Every structure is written in C-alpha cells, then in structure tokens.
Amino acid sequence: MAHVHPSAIVDPAAELDASVRVGAFSLIGPHVRIGAGTEVGPHCVIEGHTTIGRDNRIFQFASLGAVPQDKKYAGEPTELVVGDRNVVREFCTFNLGTVQDAGITRIGSDNWIMAYVHIAHDCQVGNHATMANNATLAGHVQVGDHVTIGGLTGVLQRMRIGDHAMIGFASHVNKDVPPFLVVDGNPLQVRSVNLVGLRRRDFSADRQTAVREMHKLLYRQGKTLDEALAGIEALTASYPEAAGDVANMLGFLRSSSVGIAR
C-alpha cells in the first residue's frame, strides 16, 4: 500500500505504486496512475486520466489533470502524462488535452517547474526544461529539451520553443523561438546565442562556433530566410561535428507555420 496520510482521499480505483507518498488533505481521482518513488505534497488535487511517472516531487497546492480551460471541451476522456524525476512546485496547474489536438498534454522528464506555472491543454514539454515562477503556456505550445523560460513569461497558443533556447524574464512569446537562442521582451527580440547553456551541456568548441554562425546567418547579415537556410545547410561541410545541430535548426525553421522570432 502507498503511504497515504489519513486525511487524504485516494479513490480506490487509482493506481499508486507502494512507494508513493501522499500528503495531508490531498485528493486523487479514480483514473490516476502514479509511479514508484513519487511524492505528492499536502493539499494537492490530481484528477482526470492522469499518468505520473517515477520519482517526481509534487509540492503542496498543485492541481494536475483538471479539465482544459477551453469552452469546446465536452468531457472527453483526454489525458495528462508526466514523465520521471520532475520537480513541480507550489500552485502549478497542468490541464488535460483536448480532442481538437492529440488529446494528451505531455510533460517529459527531469524538468524543474517552479511555483504558479500553468501548462495548458495539449502542450508538449520536453526534458530538462526549467520554467520559472508564473511562466504560462497557452494551449498547444511545444517546448523542446533543455529550454529555460523566465518568470512571468507568457507563451501564446501554438508557439514552439526550440531545444536549448532561453526566454528572458517577463517576455511575450508570439513567434516560434528557434533552438539555441536567447530572446526576451515585449515585443520579443532575439538577443544572442545561449552560449552559457551550451557550455554547461558540454557542446564542443566547433559545435558552439557552428551555432554562432547559424545565429549570424539568421540575424546579423541581412539575409532573407531562404538565403539564411541555404547558408545554414552549408555549415555541415565546415563543422561536421555539428551536423545534428544544423539539422535541428533546419528542421525547426522549415516546419514553422507562424514565423520565427526575428
């Protein structure tokens, strides 16, 4: 049996690993599954068709799996899926998906999610992301791996944030943010390459140089987007070690439907 505080209410149909801990006055619904080693703090509500992986720490007053804040939602059995080893701080709200999308809101693993963060319906958050206090993702947002989102930042619905990008404090994200960049402000502006983040993740000197060259082609040489794409594609010949990074950038840019921060 899971370690459940006597004042908590856990529906008998919920599936909790025997090592799960549930704090005082928390409420867990019948369609919830929670993996080994996860700790649920006091006064949390976990409901809906919600699956939570291993070794997560969910702090007090979090609300996970509530119905979407979407007037079209009509009670469909959509899902929230959370991976492993995430830290979810106080008053976070993660909503279920909708049938207008894939029906799943998904948060990956090893994310650091600070207080009052809202992740709306159908968002897809990768791994190793950091979201500071009061960051808000509107519906259908996609966040890559190793992304940092500053406090009080709002991300408009259907925007995408590429791997290793950093969004500064109190920004308004209304365009796709390509990988590796630092952006901030309202209106949103591209500032630089996220070199600090790349060094922390052991990017080699050649990979860092290739990323800086991509930034120059996109933002510093007055090129059209098509011209920049051609220049980025050619970088693989000079920096073969960065072929994956070049492919990441090209794939992101070519798949943008709303335009990129530029």
Active site residue 128: no
Cα–Cα distance measured from residue 28 to residue 121, given in angstroms and rounded to the nearest whole number = 20
The closest alpha carbon to 120, from 176, 68, 62, belongs to 68
Instruction: Examine the residue annotation and report whether 122 is marked as an active-site residue of this protein.
Output: yes
- Give all strands of the β-sheet with 45-46 in edge-to-edge order: 9-10, 27-28, 45-46, 63-66, 93-95, 118-119, 136-137, 154-155, 172-173
- CB of 104 within 8 A of CB of 80? yes
Q: List, as own/partner pairs, every contact residues 230-236 make where C-beta atoms lie below 8 angstroms and the sequence separation is at least 24, other chains included.
A: 235/210
259 classed as catalytic:
no
Catalytic residue among 122, 145, 176, 245: 122
Task: Please identify which of the residues 121, 146, 164, 215 carries the catalytic annotation.
Answer: 121
Which residue among the candidates 35, 97, 139, 154 is catalytic per the annotation?
139
| Residue 128 Rama label (left phi>0; alpha psi -120 to 50; beta) | left
Active site residue ranges: 121-122, 139
